[in-house]
A and B are shown apart, each in its own frame.
Chain A
């Protein structure tokens, strides 16, 4: 009976309910786009770190987990390796560079220049070609995005530009591999070179000279199987001086602007959902106020409170579900048309959470309406009140 009444009313007033579904669709589009934008921005910032084949990251002490400020010498690397529970470590140097593309294209691409140790944590797996093998070769592995965007393949040469002192320096590197999947870091696609090559070609205040002790920014630590991550972290922290050990997610949160950006977008999403609750609640409340005499007649002729309440909830669920479905279709259609420069990424889990939240705000917003529907007295049908 409840389903019958709910669907009949929605169908016979489909114009009005469709318009309201459009409002819910717009809210859905806004929430999904914000979620996709938050994920896209977060991904562009953290992608390399989040895909690291390691559980811990070591920073220099007192640098607030800033990878750029952190300086770790080669000697500390050996000390970290000796800690019980550490399987292997990989030094990582982080810098930036500019790829100079062929003159025909007349364009440049800013990238994160990352120095890694061949075969150690920090070196991403490759999809095409081979991985880095030696620590000194003028070889490079490039992010899949760059390979696709500029049609660069293993075997091609790549020219990069860095600043050393006050001079622009150009280096030619041989592309030996392409990473599998995106490896962005600090909103730039990444290219990977052996760490000694990195130390030589990276941007630095003075041209590179051979140093007795190589300096890296951070160290990726892979722990042995069966070891507790926090226990190993504590051991490293207490066993090695002047360092700070953290897990990957903490390191990601410490990325420049990451937390502030995510908090801003998440707040926007939450407020959009709250507005959704108010809009849906308001619409159904006004609808119900108009229907009070009808509800009174229904109750007088023997329709129970349960049927009235279920019919009200069903209507809210129907309209909300249609609106969310419509909004989702609109969002994904628009997303396909938006230029690739806009960093929107639809993460399945986040889309599911956002969609579930959107589906829940309908019944949540309609709770007051259900309460009102249940409280209507059948005496209203006779123009009386208890």
Chain B
């Protein structure tokens, strides 16, 4: 199966006052449809920068990123904005939801943004939220939700417009362990069920129990890639 995401020899170099820092150094990876990947590593290892490059928020200094066969380097800024809107779903650590939109409206916004909000779309958004256990919070504003509920709404928003790639940046950073497990399990289930390619950046290695592949980064480089259940479980046990 052709991978949804292919990153080839990606480097991101920041230059400042004559000195340069390689935040990402010659990283190659791929993610297939229905595959959930964890990008792990200590602070400063380059995982968030790599996520920004994969999300078309940053242009790589070297290398190529292809999503659904489209090379992000070939796109201008307007095309990249449209590409993010149509092909990528996001879940962030903070400020995920618009505080002035209800739960249902926050999810529907991605459909509205892609001009696909119709009766069927509204129903799909509602069903997804019901599936996520938010049936009694559909008309609530985000300030009435718990941290876990907010992240579940963000997950629904990241999937509702049927993107090819779903990216999550530390989605459980503000949650307690129990809620963190719940959120990542839900995320993993949806990615597998809807056959999406998913990447989650996390510093919490225990959450890797729900992923299919672990890519560990250090100093901007890939340190190891774990692809089998046994390898991943051993990695979690040693963490």
Contacts and interface: CB of A to CB of B under 8 A. Distances in A.
Contacts of A11: 100
Contact of B92 (A5, A300, A302, A386): A300
Contacts of A1: 112-113
B57 A301 contact: no
A379 interface: yes
Interface in A360-386: 378-379, 381-384, 386
A297 B96 contact: yes
Interface stretch (B45-53, B67-75, B217-225, B226-234): B45-53
A301 B90 contact: yes
B57 A293 contact: no
B98 A384 contact: no
Tell me what chain A mostly uses at the interface: helix, strand, loop, or mixed.
helix
Contacts of A298: 98
A4 B96 contact: no
Contacts of B51: 382
B122 interface: no
A164 interface: no
B204 interface: no
A315 to B, nearest CB: 11
B149 interface: no
A130 interface: no
Interface stretch (B33-41, B78-86, B190-198, B205-213): B78-86
B113 A381 contact: no
Contacts of A301: 84-85, 90, 110, 113, 157
B85 A384 contact: no
Given A12-B141, A294-B95, A382-B57, A4 B84 contact: no
B25 interface: no
Nearest to A7: B100
B81 A384 contact: no
Given A301-B110, A303-B113, A382 B78 contact: no
A12 B99 CA distance: 9
Given A4-B112, A8-B101, A12-B100, A381 B92 contact: yes
Contacts, number: 77
Contact of B100 (A9, A296, A300): A9
B55 A300 contact: yes
Contacts of B157: 301
B84 A300 contact: yes
A5 B112 CA distance: 11
Interface string A171-196: 00000000000000000000000000
Interface string A54-72: 0000000000000000000
Interface string A278-304: 000000000000000110111111111
Interface residues of B, number: 32
Interface string B168-207: 0100000000000000000000000000000000000000
A384 B112 contact: no
Interface string A22-53: 00000000000000000000000000000000
A288 B86 CA distance: 27
A1, A300, A302, A386, most chain B CB atoms within 10 A = A302
B94 interface: yes
Given A302-B113, A304-B78, A383-B48, A13 B100 contact: yes
B58 interface: yes
B81 A304 contact: yes
A250 B157 CA distance: 69
B98, B99, B101, B105, most chain A CB atoms within 10 A = B98
Given A8-B105, A379-B57, A384 B52 contact: yes
B112 A382 contact: no
Contacts of A379: 52, 57-58
Given A379-B57, A382-B169, A302 B96 contact: no
Given A301-B84, A302-B86, A382 B52 contact: yes
Interface string A299-323: 1111110000000000000000000
A13 B141 CA distance: 12
B93 interface: yes
A298 B109 CA distance: 10
A302 B81 contact: yes
A369 to B, nearest CB: 17
Given A4-B112, A294-B99, A301-B110, 13 more contacts: A1-B113, A5-B98, A12-B141, A296-B95, A298-B98, A301-B84, A302-B82, A379-B57, A379-B58, A381-B92, A382-B48, A382-B55, A383-B48
Interface of A: 1, 4-5, 8-9, 11-13, 293-294, 296-304, 378-379, 381-384, 386
30 contacts: A4-B112, A8-B101, A8-B105, A12-B101, A296-B95, A297-B90, A297-B92, A297-B96, A297-B98, A298-B98, A299-B81, A300-B55, A300-B57, A300-B84, A300-B90, A300-B92, A301-B84, A301-B113, A302-B82, A302-B83, A302-B113, A303-B85, A304-B78, A379-B52, A379-B58, A381-B92, A381-B95, A382-B52, A382-B55, A384-B48
8 smallest CB-CB distances across A and B, nearest first, come from A302-B85, A12-B100, A293-B95, A302-B84, A9-B100, A381-B92, A304-B81, A378-B57
